[in-house]
């Protein structure tokens, strides 16, 4: 009988990775942190877990138009006067692609909500889901992402909290960074580099 991977071991792996990432300064760049994660995850026990590395791009349209993908649905009594927009709640349904260009290969949607809940700096507590569709080899699978996202940091570290389909029982790390924000069109482009660990008996490494 084959032995299943121990979930605790996988949990410890990504917990240590989070601690290491936390030692970076706010000036750390996405390439620097990605190189560090690439090196660290080489130590992963591939007999007990599968590592999938993905890089995807998210396109957020804040403009009030037929193409709008980000909507404010709630606010607090102090939101309009708060320097951090405390109390603002956004509901999101952004397209997901393989590249920074909006017309690059379509992969699916990035859906969920952000709530701004910090008095001292603009930071959103988020509950988001990446939903892969027909354009992806992971069609029908999802990845759930949670965490605190300080919007002014160059790289934001988020947590993969679970998933479905190819990513069932997933844990992991997300490195999020802003590619561009166009004030004229109110469109923002963001890159997510995701390190996703799932239980595996035989283990393998996949890179997309």
Here the CATH number for the domain that contains residue 182 is 2.40.480
More confident site: 70 or 11: 70
Arithmetic mean of pLDDT over the chain: 85
Question: Confidence class of residue 47 from pLDDT cuts 50, 70 and 90?
Answer: low
Give the model's pLDDT for residue 30: 86
Q: In this predicted structure, which of 6-20, 62-76, 141-155 has the lowest mean pLDDT?
A: 6-20
Give the separation between CA 90 and CA 88, rounded to whole angstroms.
7
pLDDT score of 202 more than 60: no
- The verdict on residue 1 lying in a domain is no
Asked if 159 contacts 172 with a C-beta cutoff of 8 angstroms, the reply is yes
- The verdict on residue 176 lying in a domain is yes
Model pLDDT for residues 18-29, shown as the tens digit of each residue: 444 444 434 468
Q: Are strands 205-207 and 49-61 parallel, antiparallel or unpaired?
A: parallel
Domain that holds residue 79: 7-207
The model's pTM is 0.81
- The verdict on residue 148 lying in a domain is yes
- The verdict on residue 188 lying in a domain is yes
Average pLDDT value for residue range 100-110: 96
- The verdict on residue 2 lying in a domain is no
Give the model's pLDDT for residue 72: 96
Scan for tokens 């996703």, then name that residue. 196
Give the model's pLDDT for residue 204: 53
- The verdict on residue 21 lying in a domain is yes
More confident site: 181 or 135: 181
Give the separation between CA 107 and CA 98, rounded to whole angstroms.
7
Length of the chain (residues): 208
Contacts of 32 (CB under 8 A, 6+ apart): 24
- The verdict on residue 18 lying in a domain is yes
Phi (first) and psi of residue 143, to 5 degrees? -130, 125
More confident site: 196 or 201: 196
Question: Confidence class of residue 164 from pLDDT cuts 50, 70 and 90?
Answer: very high
| Longest alpha-carbon distance in the chain | 62
b/e sequence 173-203, b meaning 16+ C-beta within 10 Å: bbbbbbeeeeeeeebbbbbbbbbbbbbbeeb
DSSP code per residue over 94-140: EEEESSSSTTSPEEEEEEEEEEE--SSS-EEEEEEEEEE-TTSTTTT
Give the separation between CA 165 and CA 103, rounded to whole angstroms.
26
**Counted domains in the chain:** 1
- The verdict on residue 108 lying in a domain is yes
pLDDT score of 11 more than 90: no
Q: Is 32 helix (H, G, I), strand (E, B) or coil?
A: helix
More confident site: 128 or 23: 128
């Amino acid at each position: 009988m084959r032995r299943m991977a121990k979930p605790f071991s996988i949990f410890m792996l990504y917990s240590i990775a989070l601690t290491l990432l936390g030692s970076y300064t706010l000036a750390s760049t996405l390439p620097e942190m990605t190189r560090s994660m690439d090196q660290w995850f080489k130590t992963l026990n591939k007999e007990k877990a599968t590592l999938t590395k993905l890089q995807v791009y998210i396109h957020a349209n804040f403009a009030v138009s037929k193409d709008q993908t980000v909507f404010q649905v709630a606010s607090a009594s102090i939101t309009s006067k708060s320097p951090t927009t405390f109390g603002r709640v956004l509901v999101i349904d952004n397209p997901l692609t393989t590249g920074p260009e909006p017309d690059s290969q379509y992969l699916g949607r990035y859906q969920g909500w952000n709530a701004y809940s910090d008095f001292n700096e603009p930071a959103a507590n988020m509950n988001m889901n990446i939903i892969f569709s027909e354009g992806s080899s992971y069609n029908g699978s999802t990845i759930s992402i949670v965490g605190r996202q300080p919007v002014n940091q160059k790289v934001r570290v988020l947590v993969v909290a679970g998933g479905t389909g190819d990513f069932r029982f997933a844990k992991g790390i997300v490195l999020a960074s802003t590619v561009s924000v166009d004030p004229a069109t109110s469109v923002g482009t963001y890159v997510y580099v995701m390190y996703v660990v799932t239980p595996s008996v035989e283990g393998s490494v996949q890179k997309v």
